[in-house]
């Protein structure tokens, strides 16, 4: 049977914490088993369901790999002068996973609107140029291999967030700026815990700009 790798990410957009990418390696029989246990896009599952499925998935698949990408690494890519951006960073991490798992076919949920351009960029990073690559939007919904990867990524991301909360000793919610808890924590502690924030995100820059404007106002007074 053909060895298939499904890849997906969790935590692309929040201002707090890492982005996590995961890949699972399975075959058609394994994909059937993943469907039987109810693997689906992690966003359609509760935290408890995801945690329960995590242990089942790692037993079913032939192999898997999870990559945790820190805020500092994300910032370095977004702020780089060599053309790197978040999409290309994802491509490099996807290639790292693919090269490690060595599948015959890979299915990836594309982060880019220009799917063909993203696929071409990714293929240049692969050791095995003969891999069949399926790159499309909503792959995490349409392909159970990517659904399984999304669950591994999301559970790992949630675990990383809990580790951060133990360090800062405060519940800042999800880490997304749509979350009132995150907004409140961000307003109070953006300078206290700079390493947990994505400083390349526009809201962080605006927060710093506002700080310096206030200081300048105090000086003028």
Q: In the chain, which residues fall in CATH 3.30.420.10? A: 4-165
- This prediction's pTM: 0.92
CATH 1.10.1220 fits 169-220, yes or no: no
Q: In the chain, which residues fall in CATH 1.10.10? A: 169-220
List per-residue pLDDT tens for the chain, 221 residues long: 899 999 999 999 999 999 999 999 999 999 999 999 999 999 999 999 999 999 999 999 999 999 999 999 999 998 888 888 999 999 999 999 999 999 999 999 999 999 999 999 999 999 999 999 999 999 999 999 999 999 999 999 999 999 999 999 999 999 999 999 999 999 999 999 999 999 999 999 898 887 655 443 443 44
Decide if 115 contacts 137 (C-beta within 8 A). yes
DSSP character for 43? G
Alpha carbon of 180 to those of 16, 47, 57, 164, 184: distances in Å?
13, 20, 33, 18, 6
State the fold for domain 4-165: Nucleotidyltransferase; domain 5 (3.30.420)
Number of C-beta neighbours around residue 181 at 10 A: 14
């Amino acid at each position: 049977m053909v060895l298939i790798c499904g890849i997906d990410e969790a935590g692309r957009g929040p201002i707090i914490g890492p982005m996590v990418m995961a890949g699972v390696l399975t075959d058609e029989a394994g994909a059937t088993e993943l469907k039987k246990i109810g693997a689906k896009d992690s966003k359609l599952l509760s935290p408890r369901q995801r945690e329960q499925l995590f242990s089942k998935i790692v037993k079913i698949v032939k192999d898997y790999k999870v990559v945790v990408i820190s805020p500092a690494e994300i910032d370095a890519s977004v702020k780089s002068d060599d053309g790197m951006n978040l999409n290309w960073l994802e491509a490099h991490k996807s290639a790292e996973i693919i090269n490690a798992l060595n599948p015959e076919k890979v299915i990836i949920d594309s982060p880019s609107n220009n799917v063909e351009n993203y696929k071409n960029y990714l293929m240049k990073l692969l050791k095995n140029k003969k891999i069949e690559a399926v790159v499309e939007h909503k792959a995490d919904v349409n392909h159970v291999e990517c659904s399984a990867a999304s669950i591994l990524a999301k559970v790992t991301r949630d675990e990383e967030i809990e580790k951060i909360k133990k360090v800062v000793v405060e519940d800042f919610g999800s880490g997304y700026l749509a979350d009132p808890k995150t907004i409140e924590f961000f307003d109070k502690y953006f300078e206290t815990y700079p390493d947990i924030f994505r400083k390349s995100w526009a809201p962080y820059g605006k927060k710093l700009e506002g700080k310096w404007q206030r200081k300048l106002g105090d000086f003028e007074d």
